[in-house]
């Protein structure tokens, strides 16, 4: 394969951080694998294939064969390969699904435990040893068979996991009880430990069941996104309207969407008017009005209007699918803090086995009975299971990214989530991010004829400017086109049109070689602004963005044709007109900046506008140009350099932008945050370069994204602290004889449940 490829594989049977490490080692041994990330919470692995995977003549579909090899490696490691996304794609199961084994375990264990409770009240009755044996053995070897199977696979692969610890510990307790029973004198009352082994198995099964329920809750957000896909679409075919499966819709098809239905694909509104609920995609609760040519998004809900649309994207190319992929990528990725957990879990089980052996020998050799020594060693094995360690990080990441997606904040990778709360500087692109991004043509001033005092008619100049920019998507070009359309001006044919990066456009309109761009470009071309210089300065001080329309002319005053023409070599550029554009701040922009400043962050606005216009807008937004909070006249190609300069000064930089020209700066920042704009222009490119994406153009979401990042990282640290503290405190207590196996089993089961429950608290977050 010549391109990188990523494969996702579901994995059943993983129970702890040691399992994660073992699966990763097995998958990394497969030839052609570059990197592997295994997630215990999602029970899946994401495998990145090497750039160049050799393909034999018989291997026409290498990716499929590679997937088969990976699945075989998972099975050989002792786990069950499954289809990817089984956890997120599965419908919500009954809350009692999978409880039957626990119910059987409780039913068989309770008769063993009740006499222990009776001792507290002076009721000394013990079940006969045979009855204890008959009750405990099915729990140990039937309900606990999963521990033996998984533990055996770990053993033959020279590694350890939670199942091995539980299997060894409970088997030791069961075997000790059998030995004491069979070697006891006739009619002697000997204390057996069948109840301990049976109850530990039952409690561990109960803990895994509670944990599975919590996992389903952490994936509820991604399942909700999957559920947005409608199954049927109303296709307008040759024979009229017919219902077809949504998967069969093609780009270019025309669909009818009835009131209350979900859109089956991305498209453009062709007929009708409606209000659309896009809350599951953008987090915006208010319906969005849609008129002719408005963009429609798959998964959103049509309001009360029957509309007709043309499909522009289907399947994996829709915005909904892209959002789902981003959320799944974030939940499959490993946060940098997880590396510490991986390093610990790699040696954890062997160390615990060593501690258990030392406990056994220490108690026995110090003169205590072998029975007591073994029970204390069993307690060490049971309480040390590293379930919570494996779940601490992925559970918090899944809950955090899921609730963020609910409110229109897409987190692309776990590293961005972990770094976002550390930033101390936030850099905003101005146009479309802090401002509405739809500037209007405010003024157009033509150069007066020096001889007669009157220049070209305004309508003629506006027609030339609009014709030159007829194919451009730049906000200023759209403003010119809108003004020309409003005045009913017909566009002229434009040829040889080309963009001059960071400066403007040039081309031929009606045979006239025109240039339209910034005053900085005009200055580079030695264009004399003449009597309009004072007006340009006034507009700039008022905060307007000023552009110039000019024409190349020869020394004899005739228009030069192109750069290759002999006359063009003697050409000069003369000014025809100046155009003043104005933009408005977004309604919540100033409030958003105030919120970020209150968090102690340094704020910077990047703009390609002249300094006067940029500083004027900055003051309207509450920024202080004198404090270095404005960077003006920055060319698109220099935005990344400015971000790198800030990083070089020791700052952690968050870059917020919305367009194609922001992509390099988004990639250069410690954390890039792409802000979707309503028309979608350039957003896809920005989203690919950014670690986070805001699905609404609301600057307040920047602070919300930083907040959920900080809260998620706080949950990760809390979980890891309790997971480590639990083992650090529990193992010595068990080794010193202060914990019996039953209490150790209960504590171990509840540790992983508490980690999941703590992570699920993030689901209550609101921006």
pLDDT at residue number 590: 93
Q: What is the mean pLDDT of residues 557-576?
A: 60
**Can you give the CATH number for the domain in which 559 is found?**
3.40.1110.10
Q: Which residue in 168, 115, 159, 170 sits closest to 137, CA to CA?
A: 170
| Residue 475 or residue 468, greater confidence | 468
Residue 655 near residue 673, CB atoms below 8 Å: yes
**Is-contact 723 376, C-beta < 8 A?**
no
Helix 162-183 / helix 741-760 crossing angle, nearest 10 deg = 160
First to last CA, the chain: 44
**Residue-range definition of the domain harbouring residue 299:** 250-313
Assess whether 422 and 520 both reside in one domain: no
Structure confidence at residue 568 (pLDDT): 47
One domain for residues 570 and 626: no
The answer to whether the beta carbons of residues 312 and 268 sit under 8 Å apart is yes
Q: How many CB atoms lie within 10 A of CB 174?
A: 26
Are residue 446 and residue 570 in the same domain, yes or no? Answer: yes
In a domain, 262, yes or no: yes
Residues 571 and 617 in one domain: no
Cα separation of 610 and 643, whole Å?
Answer: 19
Q: Which residue in 156, 16, 159 sits closest to 76, CA to CA?
A: 156
Indicate whether 330 belongs to any domain. no
pLDDT for position 13: 84
Q: How does pLDDT run across 664-677, given as a tens digit for each residue?
A: 888 888 998 888 76
Q: Is 25 within the bounds of a domain?
A: yes
Q: In a 3-state reduction of DSSP, which class is residue 476? A: helix
pLDDT in tens, 257-313: 999 899 999 999 999 988 898 876 776 666 888 888 888 989 889 988 899 999 999
* DSSP SS3 for 740: coil
Answer whether residue 398 shows pLDDT above 90. no
pLDDT above 80: residue 157: no
φ, ψ (nearest 5 deg) of residue 325: -65, -40
Q: Are residues 506 and 492 part of one domain? A: yes
Burial level of 572, CB count in 10 A (0-12/13-18/19+)?
A: middle
pLDDT value, residue 122: 60
Q: Is 286 contained in some domain?
A: yes
Phi, then psi, of 49 in degrees rounded to 5: -80, 155
Residue 1 has pLDDT above 70, yes or no: no
Contacts of 547 (CB under 8 A, 6+ apart): 476, 504, 516, 517, 518, 519, 578, 579, 581
Tens digit of each residue's pLDDT (9 = 90 or more) over 202-256: 887 887 787 677 667 666 666 777 778 888 999 998 888 899 999 899 999 999 9
Domain count, the chain: 4
Which of 582, 604, 622 lies at the terminal end of a domain, its last residue? 582
Active site residues: 429
Q: Identify the pLDDT of residue 687.
A: 66
| Residues 499 and 577 reside in one and the same domain | yes
Whether residue 450 is predicted with pLDDT greater than 60 in this model: the reply is no
Mean pLDDT comparison of 103-117, 249-263, 454-468, highest-scoring range: 249-263
pTM over 0.75: no
Confidence of residue 401 (pLDDT cuts 50, 70, 90): confident
Nearest to 692 by CA among 676, 711, 710: 676
pLDDT for 269 = 93
What's the confidence (pLDDT) of residue 510? 86
Within-domain flag for 390: no
425 and 482 belong to one structural domain:
no
**Considering the chain, what percentage of its residues have pLDDT values greater than 70?**
85
Tell whether 550 is covered by a domain. yes
Q: CATH code at 38?
A: 3.30.70.100
What tens digit of pLDDT does each residue of 14-40 get?
A: 877 778 888 988 999 998 898 898 888
| Cα atoms in the Cβ-side hemisphere of radius 13 Å centred on 451 | 1
Q: What is the pLDDT of residue 150?
A: 82
Q: Return the higher-pLDDT residue of 542 and 233.
A: 233
Mapping DSSP onto H, E and C, the string for 240-307 reads: EEEEEEHHHCCCCCEEEECCCCECCCEEEEEECCEEEECHHHHCCCCCEEECCCCEECCCCEECCCCE
| Whether residue 744 has pLDDT greater than 60 | yes
- Quote the CA–CA distance of 266 and 247 in Å, as a whole number: 13
List of E strands, 540-596:
545-553, 572-582
Phi then psi for residue 328, to 5 deg, are -65, -40
For residues 497 and 760, give the distance between their C-alpha atoms in angstroms, rounded to a whole number.
Answer: 56
Instruction: Confirm whether 164 is domain-assigned.
Output: no
Is 425's pLDDT higher than 90?
Answer: yes
Least trusted range by pLDDT, from 56-65, 113-122, 159-168, 758-767: 56-65
Averaged pLDDT for residues 451-457: 56
Residue 298 belongs to a domain: yes
Domain shared by 674 and 593, yes or no: yes
The more confident residue out of 475 and 679 is 475
Looking at the structure, do residues 639 and 686 belong to the same domain, yes or no?
yes
pLDDT of residue 690 exceeding 50: yes
- Give the CA dihedral 715, 720, 721, 724, nearest 10 degrees: 160
Please say which residue of 564, 582, 600 terminates a domain.
582
Asked if 494 contacts 508 with a C-beta cutoff of 8 angstroms, the reply is: yes
What CATH number has the domain bearing residue 292?
2.70.150.10
| Least confident stretch, 316-320, 419-423, 761-765 | 316-320
Q: According to the model, what pLDDT value does residue 164 have?
A: 81
- pLDDT, mean of residues 440-466: 79
Domain's final residue, options 27, 62, 84 = 84
Lateral strand order in the sheet of 44-49: 33-39, 44-49, 6-12, 80-82
Same domain, 559 and 616: no
The verdict on 562 and 603 lying in the same domain is no
Whether 455 and 561 share a structural domain = yes
| Contact present, 423 and 671 (Cβ < 8 Å) | yes
CATH code assigned at 638: 3.40.50.1000
């Amino acid at each position: 394969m010549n391109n990188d490829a990523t494969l996702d594989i579901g994995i059943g049977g993983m129970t702890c951080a040691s399992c994660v490490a073992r699966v990763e080692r097995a998958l990394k041994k497969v030839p052609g694998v570059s990197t592997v990330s295994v997630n215990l919470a999602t029970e899946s692995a994401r495998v990145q294939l090497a750039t160049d995977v050799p393909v034999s003549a018989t291997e026409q579909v290498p990716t499929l064969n590679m997937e088969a090899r990976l699945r075989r490696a998972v099975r050989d490691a002792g786990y069950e390969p499954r289809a990817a996304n089984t956890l997120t794609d599965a419908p919500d199961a009954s809350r009692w699904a999978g409880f039957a084994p626990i119910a059987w375990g409780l039913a068989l264990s309770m008769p063993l435990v009740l006499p222990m409770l009776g001792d507290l009240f002076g009721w000394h009755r013990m079940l006969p040893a045979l009855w204890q044996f008959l009750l405990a053995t099915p729990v140990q070897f039937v309900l606990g068979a999963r521990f033996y199977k998984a533990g055996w696979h770990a053993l033959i692969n020279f590694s350890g996991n939670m199942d091995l610890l539980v299997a060894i510990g409970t088997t030791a307790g069961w075997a000790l009880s059998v030995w004491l029973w069979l070697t006891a004198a006739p009619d002697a009352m000997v204390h057996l430990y069948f109840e301990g082994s049976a109850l530990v198995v039952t409690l561990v099964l109960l803990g895994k069941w509670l944990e599975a329920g919590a996992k389903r809750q952490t994936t509820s957000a991604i399942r909700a996104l999957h559920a947005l896909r409608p199954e049927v679409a109303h296709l307008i075919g040759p024979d009229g309207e017919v219902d077809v499966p949504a998967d069969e819709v093609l780009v270019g098809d025309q669909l009818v969407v009835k009131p209350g239905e979900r859109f089956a694909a991305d498209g453009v509104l062709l007929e009708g008017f409606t209000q659309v609920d896009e809350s599951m995609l953008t987090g915006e609760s208010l319906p969005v009005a849609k008129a002719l040519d408005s963009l429609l998004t798959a998964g959103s809900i049509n309001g009360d209007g029957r509309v007709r649309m043309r499909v522009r994207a289907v399947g994996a190319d829709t915005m909904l699918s892209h959002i789902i992929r981003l959320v799944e990528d974030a939940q499959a990725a490993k946060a940098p803090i997880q590396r510490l957990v991986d390093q610990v879990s790699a040696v954890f089980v062997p160390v615990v086995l060593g501690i258990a052996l030392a406990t056994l020998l220490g108690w026995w050799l110090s003169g205590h009975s072998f029975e007591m020594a073994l029970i204390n060693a069993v307690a060490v094995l049971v309480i040390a299971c590293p379930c919570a360690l494996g779940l601490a990080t992925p559970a918090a990441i899944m809950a955090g990214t899921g609730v963020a997606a609910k409110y229109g904040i897409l987190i692309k990778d776990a590293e961005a989530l972990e770094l976002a709360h550390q930033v101390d500087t936030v850099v905003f692109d101005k146009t479309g991010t802090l401002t509405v991004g739809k500037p209007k043509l405010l003024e157009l001033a033509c150069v007066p004829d020096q001889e007669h005092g009157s220049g070209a008619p305004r309508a003629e100049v506006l027609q030339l400017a609009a014709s030159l920019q007829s194919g451009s998507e730049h906000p200023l070009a759209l403003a010119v086109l809108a003004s020309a359309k409003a005045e009913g001006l017909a566009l002229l044919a434009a040829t040889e049109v080309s963009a001059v990066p960071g400066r403007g456009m040039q081309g031929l309109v009606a045979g006239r070689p025109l240039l339209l761009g910034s005053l900085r470009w005009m200055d580079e071309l030695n264009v004399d602004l003449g009597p309009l210089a004072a007006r340009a300065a006034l507009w700039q001080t008022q905060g307007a963005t000023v552009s110039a329309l000019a024409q190349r002319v020869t020394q004899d005053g005739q228009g030069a044709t192109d750069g290759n023409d002999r006359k063009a070599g003697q050409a000069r550029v003369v000014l025809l007109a100046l155009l003043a554009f104005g933009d408005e701040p977004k309604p919540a922009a100033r409030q958003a900046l105030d919120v970020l400043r209150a968090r102690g962050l340094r704020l910077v606005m990047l703009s390609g506008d002249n300094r006067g216009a940029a500083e004027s807008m900055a003051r309207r937004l509450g920024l202080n140009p004198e404090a270095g909070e404005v960077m003006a006249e920055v060319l698109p190609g220099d935005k990344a350099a400015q971000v790198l300069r800030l990083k070089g000064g020791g700052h952690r930089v968050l870059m917020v932008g919305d367009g194609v020209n922001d992509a390099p700066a988004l990639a250069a920042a410690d954390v890039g945050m792409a802000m979707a704009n309503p028309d979608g222009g350039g957003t896809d490119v920005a989203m690919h370069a950014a670690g986070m994406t805001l699905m609404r153009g609301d600057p307040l979401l920047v602070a919300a994204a930083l907040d959920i990042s900080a809260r998620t990282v706080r949950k990760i640290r809390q979980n890891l602290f309790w997971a480590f503290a639990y083992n650090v405190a529990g193992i010595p207590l068990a080794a010193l004889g202060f914990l019996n196996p039953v209490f150790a089993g209960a504590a171990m089961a509840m540790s992983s449940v508490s980690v999941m429950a703590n992570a699920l608290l993030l689901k209550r977050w609101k921006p």
